[in-house]
Structure 1
Amino acid sequence: MTFWNLSKPDYKSDYQHSFVNGALEHPFGVPGIECSRCGATWGGSRVLPIDCPSALRRRRHLRERWPLPDAEHRRLREEIQSAVRKRGQECPSLRPGDDLQPGILDIPSLPRFDFLWCRLGTVVVSERVRGVIQSVCRTGVSFAPVKLRKVGKREATIPAPIPESGEPEDIIKEAQPVRRKSHIGPYYEMIVERESKSPPGGHPVSTCSECGRDKIDDKKRRITMTSRMWRGDPVFLLATTLYIIVTDEVRTRLEALRPTNVRFVSPDSF
C-alpha cells in the first residue's frame, strides 16, 4: 500500500503563503484546560464539523478561550454537548482546544485554487475536490462551508506584496477588498476525523484520567507511515501529527482534476 501526504507547495516566501492562502478563523471553541491531576495547562488543535450552539455564542469562555480549571471545564463541555444534542445532532467527547464551526476566511487575493492552506490540520477545498473526496470517503471526512469575510482584489499569481510592518499576516489587513463575493467559491473546510495507528515509538507513555492528555516520548517517536499503521481509511491523519495522509487511489482521483496549490509528498521524506 502506498500513502501520500497531502501538502502545500513550497512557496517562495511567507508573504506568498499568506497572499495565496489567507487565514481561517474559528471564532468559537472549547477553551484550554488547567488540569489539577497532571498539572498540565493545554489545548489541542482539533477542528469539529459542529456549529457552535447559538445560545452559547455570547459566552466569553467560548470566544476568548483562556484555560479553565478542570471542574469548570468539565461543566462547560457538558453544557455544549447538551445544547448540540438538543438540536438533534450527535456530539463526540469534547477535548480542550477543540474548534467549532463556523470557519471564517480572510484572504488578501482572489481565491482561484482548489486547495487553500490557511490552517494547520485542516485544509480549505473547492467544490470539485469535495466531490472527489466524498466519492471515496463515506465516513471519516466532513466538510463545513467556509464563510468569506474579506477577499482581496488582486490575483494570487502576481508577486506577493510586502506590508509596511514586514509581517506576512498583515498582508490581509492592507488588502483592498472586493465589493461582491457572491461569484467566489463555494469553499469548504475539509475536516479529517480518522487517524492511523501510532507511529513507531509514538504510543502514549501515559494518559491523564482527568483531562485526557497523552504523554508521548518525542525522542522515541519516528514520524513515518507504514501499512501496519493503516486502519483502512482512504483519507486520515497520521497519528500524533497534523499530517493529512491519502491512499494512492485518492491521489490518482485528485490528480485527474489537475488540482491547483497542492502537492503529494511521500511519507518517507518526513
Structure 2
Amino acid sequence: MTVECPEEYRTHEHINDRFPISINEHAALCHLIEKKLLAQGCQIKLRLGDFFQPGVLSLGSRPRYSFLWPTTLICTVVSKEVKDVFINNEITGVNFRKVDIDGIGKHEPWDDYPVVDDSIAMLDLVELTEKEEDPEQYGPLYQMVILFESGYPPGIKIVNRCRKCGYIEIDNEDMEISLSSKTVPEADIFFLKSTRYIVVSDKVKLLMEKSNFSNVSFQKVGWDS
C-alpha cells in the first residue's frame, strides 16, 4: 500500500505480532484503522496481506542493480533512476515510496554466499551476513507500489471463497499467461490477477530498454482481443 499505519496503531500487538487472530478481531481492527485513515483524508479498503509504509529493507549484498527483488520485503525495490524515469514519463498505475534501509551486507550481488548449513533459510542468511556500517550510502531506494491488477487470466479456477474474510482459494494449474481487452485496467503497469507477475505496456518496455535498466527481463503476454 502507499499509506503509513496511523501512529496510534503502530505498537498494536496485532499489527506487530504475526500470530494469527480471529476473523472478527481482524475485521474490527481493519474497521478502526480504515476509519482513522479516512479522517486523515485517505479512503482505502484494507485487504488480507497488506503492508503499511514505510518498507524496511535488509539486503545480503550491495544493491548494484536498477531492480531489486528482496526476500525481506515482499515487493519490488528500485533505484532513484528508475523512479525518476517513470515519473518524468508519466507512467500510470504505479507509485513510489522511499524504503528504510536497515542493513546492507558486505558482499557484491555476483559473489557466492558463504557456505552454510542447508537448513539456513535465505531470510536468516541475509541477517547473518556482515553488514555495512553506513547502509544509507547505497540509497535512496524506493518501493514500487503497483496500484492495479488485471482480471483473472484464462485457466484460473476458483476453488473456494471464504464468506467471512473474502479470501479466495485459486487453482492455477491450467493458468495461461494471457490477457484480453476486457481484463486489462487503464494503466501502464499492473499485476496479473492471482499472481505476482508484473505486466507492463509497450511504452514501459521500450522506456526501460532505452534506459538500460538492469536485473529485469520481459516475457510477451498472450492476447485475446
TM-score scaled to structure 2, two decimals?
A: 0.85
SS in structure 2 opposite 1:160?
Answer: coil
Q: Cα gap change, 1:67/1:91 in structure 2, threshold over 3 Å: closer, same or farther?
A: farther
- Correspondence 1:84-103 to 2 at 5 A: 84-86=37-39, 88-103=40-55
In structure 1, give the amino acid aligned to 2:208.
Answer: L
Q: Cα gap change, 1:79/1:145 in structure 2, threshold over 3 Å: closer, same or farther?
A: same
In structure 1, give the amino acid aligned to 2:24.
Answer: A
1:196 aligns with 2:139: no
SS in structure 2 opposite 1:148?
Answer: strand
For 1:44-99, what per-residue CA distance to the aligned partner results, in whole angstroms no more than 9, with x for missing partners?
xxxx121112211111111113332222221100111122233x241421122221
Matching residue of 1:178: 132
Percent identity at matched positions? 30
Q: Which residue of 88, 105, 117 maps to 2:69? A: 117
Q: How far apart, in 1, do the equivalents of 2:142 and 2:19 lie?
A: 28
Q: Which residue of 110, 114, 132 maps to 1:162? A: 114
Deviation of the 1:174 alpha carbon: 3.0
1:223 aligns with 2:176: yes
Q: How far apart, in 2, do the equivalents of 1:89 and 1:163 lie?
A: 50
Q: Is the 8 A contact 1:163 1:170 kept in 2?
A: no
Give me the CA root mean square deviation.
Answer: 2.3
Q: Cα gap change, 1:68/1:160 in structure 2, threshold over 3 Å: closer, same or farther?
A: same
Q: Is the 8 A contact 2:154 2:178 kept in 1?
A: no
SS in structure 2 opposite 1:154?
Answer: coil
More displaced 10-residue stretch of structure 1: 127-136 or 168-177: 168-177
Deviation of the 1:217 alpha carbon: 4.4
- Correspondence 1:138-149 to 2 at 5 A: 138=92, 140-149=93-102
Q: How far apart, in 2, do the equivalents of 1:192 and 1:148 lie?
A: 20
Deviation of the 1:141 alpha carbon: 1.3
Q: Which residue of 22, 28, 34 maps to 1:75? A: 28
Q: Is the 8 A contact 1:136 1:234 kept in 2?
A: no
Q: How far apart, in 1, do the equivalents of 2:20 and 2:36 lie?
A: 21
In structure 2, the gaps of 5 or more residues are none
TM-score scaled to structure 1, two decimals?
A: 0.72
1:55 aligns with 2:8: yes
Q: Cα gap change, 1:171/1:211 in structure 2, threshold over 3 Å: closer, same or farther?
A: closer
Q: How far apart, in 2, do the equivalents of 1:66 and 1:223 lie?
A: 35
Higher relative contact order (CA 8 A, sep 6+): 1
